Amino acid sequence: MSTAVLAPPPPARATIPRTFAAMMAREARVMRKNFLSTFIRVLVQPVMFVFVFAYVLPKLGGGATAGGPGGPTFSTILVPGLVGSSIIMQAMMAVIFPLMMELTWQKSITDRALAPVPVPLLAVQKIIAAATQGLIGGLLVFPAVLLIHAEGQAPKVHVDDWPILILVMVAGALMSAAGGLLLGTLLNPQKVQVMFAMVLLPMTMLGCVYYPWSALDHIRWLQILSLLNPLVYISEGLRSALTPAIPHMPAWAFLLAIVGGTILLTWAATRTFTKRVLT
Partner 1 sequence: MTEPPGAAVRTVDLKKTYPASGPRPAVPAVQGIDLDVPRGEFFGLLGPNGAGKSTTIGMLTTLVVPTGGSAQVCGLDVVKDAVEIKRRIGVVSQNNSLDSDLTVAENLEFRGRYFGLGARDARRRAAELLELFGLTEQRGGSPFEISGGQAKRVMICRALMHGPEVLFLDEPTAGLDPQTRANLWEVLRGLQASGQTIVLTTHYMEEAEALCDRVAVVDHGRILASGTVDQLKSSAGADTVITVSYDAAAPQEIKRLGDRDGISKVEVNDGQVRVFATEPDGILGELVDLGSTAGVGVTDASQLRPSLETVFLSLTGREYRD
Applying CB under 8 A, among 37, 188, 190, 279 the residue interacting with partner 1 is 279
Give, as one character, the DSSP assignment of residue 56: I
Sign, CA torsion 109/110/114/120: positive
Return the range that interacts with partner 1 (CB under 8 A); candidates 5-13, 64-72, 162-170, 244-252: 5-13
Residue with smaller CB distance to partner 1, 228 or 278: 278
Contact between 108 and partner 1 by CB under 8 A: the answer reads yes
Please give the Cα distance from 33 to 54 (Å, whole number).
33
Out of 36, 63, 70, 114, point to the residue binding partner 1 (CB under 8 A).
114
**Rounded CA separation 267/279 (Å):** 19
Q: Which stretch binds partner 1 (CB under 8 A): 17-25, 53-61, 196-204, 224-232?
A: 17-25
Are 78 and 54 in contact by the 8 Å Cβ rule? The answer is: yes
| 36 near partner 1, judged by CB under 8 A | no
Amino acid occupying residue 222: L
CA–CA gap between residue 18 and residue 217 (Å, rounded):
51
Task: Give the per-residue contact string, 40-79, with partner 1 (x = CB under 8 A; - = no).
Answer: ----------------------------------------
3-state helix, strand, coil in the chain (%, to 5): 75, 0, 25
Confirm or reject binding of residue 191 to partner 1 (CB under 8 A). Answer: no
Listed ranges 12-20, 75-83, 129-137, 148-156: which one lies at the site for partner 1 (CB under 8 A)? 12-20
Inter-CA distances, 222 with 140, 156, 215, 227, 239, Å: 30, 27, 11, 9, 19
Exposure on the CB side of residue 125, measured as CA atoms within 13 A: 24
Nearest distance, CB of residue 37 and partner 1, angstroms? 12
Residue 219 contacts partner 1 per CB under 8 A: no
- Contact positions vs partner 1 (CB under 8 A): 1-10, 12-16, 18-19, 22-23, 25-26, 29-30, 33-34, 98, 101, 106-108, 110-111, 113-118, 277-279
